[in-house]
Amino acid sequence: MDIVMIGSGNVAAVLGRKFVAAGHRIIQVVGRNATAASELAYEWDTESANYMSLISRRADVYLIAVTDNAIAGVVADLRLPGKVVAHTAGSVSKDVLKTVTDHYGVLYPLQSIRKDINYLPDIPVYFEASDEKAFAVLKKLASSISLEPPVVAGSEERLKLHVAAVIVNNFPNHLFSLAEQFCRKEKLDFRQLLPLITETVQRLKTSSPSETQTGPAFRNDGETLQRHLEILKNHPQLLHIYKVMTESIKQAK
């Protein structure tokens, strides 16, 4: 398929690379950041544009890969009658595109995506469409870049998935950041924790996390918990989170 990529950030870059690897053609990159759009266009041997008025009309599908709160601004004056147009947001309804075309939808990649990675990650894809034409095109497009069959998911389901994704990705990564800061201040090497982090994630492939919970809160080891709290007195943000997580683990037993 011939694709116009609207956006030049992380999602646009990685999805674009996946599309190219799958045999599709990016015929244009449209983005407000002229430098980023030009860099992606150079990578894919195509053209770039910085204004919606210059958007190509020759594509099979137009993919809006921008931040959730920027979608409305992108589509405000965008009109592509007869074309298939989709956005990539997990928390935005497909109906934000109904003034753009009759053939619209969502292609939501459930993955943490950064354009500076040097590999193409496995990306589960969820999609929905306004009509049969958009459904067929988006299903074919999603199937070409996902190892697993793409799943149809409406706005409410995608929003719930987005919440779950934040909990399992953004929250743990923030905890890793706090732990790294703690280690730095306490003259410890954060990298010594990497085997533990890896093992924790590996267990999820074979067991429910509720079955593999360990630690002093789970054991109700009051003495160890108290000693930990004493150490964390000089780390107020981490101390607060430790108390909240400890109580949550206790209540989950």
Per cent of the chain over pLDDT 90 is 94
Average pLDDT, the chain: 95
Which residue is it, tokens 């400890």? 246
Boundary residue ending a domain (132, 153, 174): 153
Shared-domain flag, residues 13 and 127: yes
Q: Are residues 81 and 203 in the same domain?
A: no
Q: Which of 105, 121, 153 is the last residue of a domain?
A: 153
* 16 and 119 housed in the same domain: yes
pLDDT the model gives residue 253? 74
Same domain, 99 and 74: yes
How does DSSP classify residue 211? G
Residues 67 and 124 in one domain: yes
33 plus 116 within the same structural domain: yes
Give the Å distances, CA to CA, from 18 to 113, 118, 123, 142, 187. Answer: 12, 12, 9, 10, 41
What's the pLDDT score for residue 88? 97
Same structural domain for residues 26 and 145? yes
pTM of the model: 0.87
Tokens linked to 188: 């410890």
Q: What is the pLDDT of residue 77?
A: 85
Do 140 and 176 belong together in one domain? no
Q: Identify the pLDDT of residue 110.
A: 95
pLDDT tens, position by position, 198-231:
999 999 999 999 999 999 999 999 999 999 999 9
Domain end point (choices 94, 125, 153)? 153
Q: What is the largest CA-CA distance in the chain?
A: 68
- Count structural domains, the chain: 2
Instruction: Please name which of 164, 94, 75 lies closest in space to residue 124, comparing C-alpha atoms.
Output: 164
CATH code, domain carrying 237: 1.10.1040.20
One DSSP character per residue, 83-98 reads SEEEE--SSS-GGGGT
- Residue 17 sits in the same domain as residue 79: yes
Identify whether residues 42 and 86 lie together within a single domain.
Answer: yes
Residues 46, 88: one domain?
Answer: yes
Relative to beta strand 125-129, strand 61-64 is: unpaired
Amino acid at position 247, single letter: E
Place of tokens 């959730």: 68
Asked if residue 169 and residue 131 are part of one domain, the reply reads: no
Place of tokens 């199937």: 143
Residue numbers of the domain that contains 222: 158-252
Q: What is the pLDDT of residues 119-163, one digit of tens each?
A: 998 999 999 999 999 999 999 999 999 989 999 999 999 999 999
Length of the chain: 253
Q: Give the CA radius of gyration of the chain.
A: 22
Which residues lie below 8 Å from residue 17, measured CB to CB, with a gap of 6+? 43, 120
Q: What is the CATH number of the domain that holds 142?
A: 3.40.50.720
56-114 pLDDT per residue, tens: 999 999 999 999 999 999 999 899 999 999 999 999 999 999 999 999 999 999 999 99
